[in-house]
Amino acid sequence: MRRFAQLLDRLVYTRSRNAKLRLIADYLRSTPDPDRGWTLAALTGAVDIPGVKRAAVKAIVDERVDPVLFRMSRDYVGDTAETVSLIWPARETADDEDDDLRISTVIERLMRLGRADAPAALADMLDRLDPPGRYALLKLAMGGLRVGVSARLAKTAFAQAFDLDVEAVEEVWHGLRPPYPELFAWGDGGDQPSIDDIPVFRPFMLAHPLGETTVSMDEFAAEWKWDGIRVQLVNVAGETRLFSRTGDDISHSFPDIADAFRETGALDGELLVRGEKQGGAEGGAASFNALQQRLGRKTVSAKMQAEFPAFVRLYDILFDGGEDLRALSWTARRERLEAFVPRLPDDRFDLSSVIDAENFGALAALRESARDAAIEGVMLKRRDSAYLAGRKTGLWYKWKRDPLTADCVIMYAQRGSGKRSSFFSDYTFGCWTAGGELHPVGKAYSGFSDEELKWLDRFVRSNTVGRFGPVREVDKILVVEVAFDSIHESKRHKSGLAMRFPRISRLRRDKPAAEADTIATLQAMID
């Protein structure tokens, strides 16, 4: 555990990307199996220890430390793992060189234990570790290392460590499981792992924001950018999996989609929920709020499937049968996709149409007029582009529609986490009802500069009128302009509304709170 803790410590304090790559690569080359495999899994977010949850960690801390002291310390530090690692009263001399405190042994032991036994085992390990070791252990147990290393960077470090192509590593990655013995055998000179009979995720092709760029409609095709979640459907050897953009298997949340995809191949599309109304560019899609009712669920009842029927609007085809089509041009792949879609159930799959615009100006006018509940904007794809993993310059662009805005009143604030743990940086804001009451309509923690954050923090501290645990209620006098992509009806909120991607676009210190927008104004913005 000591070597893993040292790696985390160095990564936290290293800003250079190349330096982080060297640190990880050196560790992977010099560390034996299976420790290096579990480290790679931890860095890429592939470690899940179900027996240890954040509440369980807080419970064992409360047994050793005064609960009030811990909560005050956590509020100041801003990170649970760091707070526990520093405040934990170790009972024995730290001795993390024991074999049973190797990263592989620790993970494998905790994974075997259920929620009843894992917390006690975790406490025993914390007793025998020094503060850096405790920090590393808790980050492993609770998930989410947050040491400035993305999954892509960790895979790149692995590829560089063993002189492999990172795209080839990505190609096989999702067919393997921690601690990746086949992957390291390949790195040490063995054969590339085979994934021919496994439905694996392939990295998506991504788009750059269009910005001020203009393109020729002779060279680019345009499609609507739908407001669902990007998914990849893969069927191999009679088995289907549905993957999210990050490569997570979400088949269990959408069994109706997985069961309906019986054709061998791999498709790229947007997961949506059927709407009650037919309208917009192609019709049939409800807002993201409807889709959200099913996201993240381990099981989905027949009632929920019927109430929120999912379907996929297809964009692209990666494999047709066993044939890899990614090297073909977008135009050629589009022809293959159009031939593939009729073989699928039309209640679960349809084809994203190409927008008919004779020039860029005409496309801009269509984009401006598009306010369908499920449309985010426009996608522009170069007609001769192959399907390449990642975000490649000049090939695909996303041109999101302009955001909606509303003037809202700050009602509550809460401290952030990590670097923002000393600042009140999370703000709940509201709008006026017809009866003159403020109802919360959203929460934002982005959109402002560092200087504006400092000003907002001082405002909260100077105008606090109530405290509810970590939340501060403030005097209702500050107006902020909030930008958001769309707004929808929601039964989960008192106002009956839910904003999509709200962020603070500017402070309106010049505007009286009484002149902020009303709930009725926001209701009128619902698509």
Q: What tens digit of pLDDT does each residue of 500-513 get?
A: 889 999 999 889 99
Residue 350 in contact with residue 313, Cβ under 8 Å? Answer: yes
Report residue 292 as tokens.
Answer: 């959200």
Report residue 233 as tokens.
Answer: 């459907």
Question: pLDDT value at position 527?
Answer: 62
| pLDDT of residue 487 exceeding 90 | no
User: How would you classify residue 107: left for phi > 0, otherwise alpha for psi between -120 and 50, otherwise beta?
Assistant: alpha
% pLDDT > 70, the chain: 96
| pLDDT of residue 288 exceeding 60 | yes
The backbone torsions φ and ψ at residue 43, rounded to the nearest 5 degrees and listed phi first, read -65, -25
Residue 312 in contact with residue 231, Cβ under 8 Å? Answer: yes
pTM value is: 0.76
Pairing mode of beta strands 424-432, 375-382: unpaired
| pLDDT of residue 109 exceeding 60 | yes
Query: What's the CATH number of domain 2-142, 3.30.420.10, 3.30.420.40, 1.10.3260.10, 1.20.140.10?
Result: 1.10.3260.10
3-state secondary structure of 478: coil
Question: pLDDT value at position 197?
Answer: 87
Alpha carbon 333 to its chain centroid, in Å, reads: 28
| pLDDT of residue 427 exceeding 60 | yes
379 CB burial (10 A radius; 0-12, 13-18, 19+): buried
Which run of H or of E encompasses 441? strand 438-444
Cα–Cα dist 266/21, whole Å: 32
Question: pLDDT value at position 459?
Answer: 95
- CATH superfamily entry for domain 404-524: Nucleic acid-binding proteins (2.40.50.140)
3-state secondary structure of 301: coil
Taken as a whole, the chain contains a residue count of 527
Q: How confident is the model at residue 374 (pLDDT cuts 50, 70, 90)?
A: confident
Q: Which residues contact 198 (CB under 8 A, 6 or more apart)?
A: 175, 236, 237
Cα–Cα dist 457/445, whole Å: 12
pLDDT (tens digit per residue) in 379-421 = 999 999 999 998 999 999 999 888 889 999 999 999 887 778 7
What string of DSSP letters covers 200-231? ---PPEE-EE-TT----TTTEEEEEEESSEEE
Cα–Cα dist 129/122, whole Å: 11
Per-domain residue ranges of the chain: 2-142, 205-400, 404-524
Average pLDDT over residues 436-444: 93
Give the residue from 265, 266, 270 showing the smallest Cα distance to 285.
270
Average pLDDT over residues 122-136: 92
Question: pLDDT value at position 283?
Answer: 56
Under DSSP, the state recorded for 341 is G
**Mean pLDDT of all residues in the chain?**
90
Cα 506–Cα 450–Cα 505 angle in degrees, nearest 5: 15
Report residue 524 as tokens.
Answer: 């009128």
141 CB burial (10 A radius; 0-12, 13-18, 19+): buried
Question: pLDDT value at position 143?
Answer: 81
| pLDDT of residue 94 exceeding 70 | no
pLDDT (tens digit per residue) in 335-360 = 999 999 999 999 999 999 999 999 99
3-state secondary structure of 423: coil
Class of domain 205-400 (CATH, top level): alpha beta
Q: Do domains 2-142 and 404-524 have the same CATH topology?
A: no
